[in-house]
Amino acid sequence: MNSDRYYSTKAQKMESSKIREISKIIAERDIISLAGGMPSPSSFPIEIVSELSEQLLKEKGAEALQYGTTTGYRKLKEVIARRLNENFDMSVNGENILVTSGAQQALYLVGKVFVERDDEVVVEAPTYASMLQILQELGGDVSDIELEKDGFAVDKFKKYLENGGNPKLSYFVPTFQNPSGITTSLRKRQKLVDLAEAHDFLIVEDDPYHQLRYSGGSVPPIYSVDDNNRTIYVGTLSKLLAPGLRVGWIAARQEFIDKLQLAKQPVDLCTNVFSQHLAYRYLKGDIVDRQIEKIKNLYRAKRDHMLDALQEFLPEKVDWTSPKGGMFIWLTLPEDIDAEEMFQDALDEGVAYVPGSIFYANSPKKNTLRLNFTFVDEKEITEGVKRLGRLIEEIIDRS
């Protein structure tokens, strides 16, 4: 059967996420994976989830197992709004929140509502690869703005706008970015907000890592410095509780939420109601705060361990970022080393990473790669970085 003829044009153009393919290869072999973007299994509060689930089933079992409203469980929306106001000085209420099946669905819905074929969208270079997958599916015309040590190159963005760039939407992961670990400075956030107002475009702020800060002072979300309400804020419990529960949210002006919930209705009717009730119980008191402290201590040690290992085992010609939070470190190899070509050799050495090229909308920097420090234990971090260092050194010696 020629199945191609049955597929929609959209389906014919779909491509698998490279990270998902890499994960499959790794799972089949005995390899230290610094590739994935997964939390540490020891960060999951299994006992707490077990107790909360038991309470929930006893007290509100029928409600938690029933369909829910598309915008989300009212009490959860209210507690999310309260936390955003308390933690980030936002001024939102439950009506400004749409609960989603993870941040990923939030991004997809934003794409569906705002991006039409050939619409101009600006992203960082590099950026979150799964957002690129969404924009590719929707046929957006994606331009990218280089990332500097203190965030995206706002002056280049300004020039691009002055030279006729006319985006409808811009997308940023401004805090402990996936993949680079870079945090955009407050000054640049403020400039971005001014540019958005002057040139009439929207800002999508994807912020899954904000509360995972291991050092340095906090920087407010773009949403909090945007008095014009042009920012659509995306949050998630994936890194603060567990990704398997699939609870995320959008905070935005109410008219956007109304439209986004219309886009969600045919997708899944509602987010997993049981997970939403659990999330509410997790967020309403201080359980979440105590858990965040635990996760931060766990990941701070892992980050420090990886930074020390990079210092010890990588050749001098390699540069890397020193993130103050999040889950990733970004490596820049000498210009002539292609991390994609090196990937197979790395697997043969028993270590995996994500080649940086997949994180670029245009003109990939092939000598870059992403390392994750949260999933593996400290022994594996040392051994994985050692193997990587040995391989890079061999390649430099050969050339």
Q: Which residues here bind ligand PLP, judged by CB under 6 A? A: 37, 102-104, 128, 173, 178, 206, 208, 236, 238, 243, 248
* 135 in Cβ contact with 111 (< 8 Å): yes
Q: For ligand PLP, which is the closer residue by CB, 68 or 208?
A: 208
Q: For ligand PLP, which is the closer residue by CB, 158 or 239?
A: 239
Residues across the chain: 399
Residue matched to tokens 């994606």: 142
* 356 in Cβ contact with 339 (< 8 Å): yes
| Residue nearest to ligand PLP according to CB distances in the complex | 102
Whether the upstream peptide bond of residue 126 has omega within 30° of 0, thus cis, is yes
Q: For ligand PLP, which is the closer residue by CB, 128 or 313?
A: 128
Q: What angle (nearest 5°) sits at the alpha carbon of residue 287, between those of residues 205 and 174?
A: 15
Among residues 25, 136, 87, 132, the alpha carbon closest in space to that of 283 is found at: 87
In the complex, the smallest distance separating the C-beta of residue 102 from ligand PLP, rounded to whole angstroms, is: 3
* 241 in Cβ contact with 258 (< 8 Å): no
In the complex, the smallest distance separating the C-beta of residue 202 from ligand PLP, rounded to whole angstroms, is: 17
In the complex, the smallest distance separating the C-beta of residue 101 from ligand PLP, rounded to whole angstroms, is: 7
In the complex, the smallest distance separating the C-beta of residue 343 from ligand PLP, rounded to whole angstroms, is: 20
Q: For ligand PLP, which is the closer residue by CB, 236 or 382?
A: 236
Q: What angle (nearest 5°) sits at the alpha carbon of residue 277, between those of residues 265 and 224?
A: 75
Q: For ligand PLP, which is the closer residue by CB, 52 or 110?
A: 110
Sign of CA dihedral 263, 269, 270, 271: negative
What is the rounded distance in angstroms from the CA atom of residue 113 to the CA atom of residue 171? Answer: 14
In the complex, the smallest distance separating the C-beta of residue 335 from ligand PLP, rounded to whole angstroms, is: 27
In the complex, the smallest distance separating the C-beta of residue 389 from ligand PLP, rounded to whole angstroms, is: 26
| SS3 readout for 78-119 | HHHHHHHHHHHCCCCCHHHEEEECHHHHHHHHHHHHHCCCCC
Q: For ligand PLP, which is the closer residue by CB, 208 or 364?
A: 208
Strand-pair category, 169-172 with 202-206: parallel
Q: Is 192 helix (H, G, I), strand (E, B) or coil?
A: helix
In the complex, the smallest distance separating the C-beta of residue 330 from ligand PLP, rounded to whole angstroms, is: 13
Q: For ligand PLP, which is the closer residue by CB, 176 or 313?
A: 176
In the complex, the smallest distance separating the C-beta of residue 393 from ligand PLP, rounded to whole angstroms, is: 30
Q: Is 20 helix (H, G, I), strand (E, B) or coil?
A: helix
What is the rounded distance in angstroms from the CA atom of residue 270 to the CA atom of residue 387? Answer: 45
What is the rounded distance in angstroms from the CA atom of residue 67 to the CA atom of residue 268? Answer: 10
Q: For ligand PLP, which is the closer residue by CB, 318 or 327?
A: 327
Q: For ligand PLP, which is the closer residue by CB, 206 or 349?
A: 206
In the complex, the smallest distance separating the C-beta of residue 253 from ligand PLP, rounded to whole angstroms, is: 21
Distances, alpha carbon 328 to alpha carbons 177, 183, 306, in Å:
8, 12, 10
For residue 352, what are its two tokens?
């995996």
In the complex, the smallest distance separating the C-beta of residue 105 from ligand PLP, rounded to whole angstroms, is: 7
* 34 in Cβ contact with 372 (< 8 Å): yes
Q: For ligand PLP, which is the closer residue by CB, 238 or 367?
A: 238
